Amino acid sequence: MGKGQKLFLEISEYEQRMGSKLSKYQRNKIDNAVEDLGKLIPYMKNKIKPYQSLENVAD
């Protein structure tokens, strides 16, 4: 399982556990963060190839 998928799963589980205790504002913040992450992951996959290290990208 990819890191992004694992993070989505963790956020979803957190929402399920805390759902009744979260305010509407907090739920919206979580939903917006998940949506932004969903857009960012494909972009980053295209920018950093599996064979590149962060040191190579920084050079």
Q: Where are the domains of the chain?
A: 3-58
Looking at residue 37, its pLDDT comes to 82
pLDDT of amino acid 56: 57
Q: Of the candidates 13, 2, 7, 14, which has an alpha carbon nearest to the alpha carbon of residue 36?
A: 7
pLDDT band at 57; cut points 50, 70, 90: low
Q: pTM score, two decimals?
A: 0.47
Q: Please give the Cα distance from 12 to 10 (Å, whole number).
A: 5
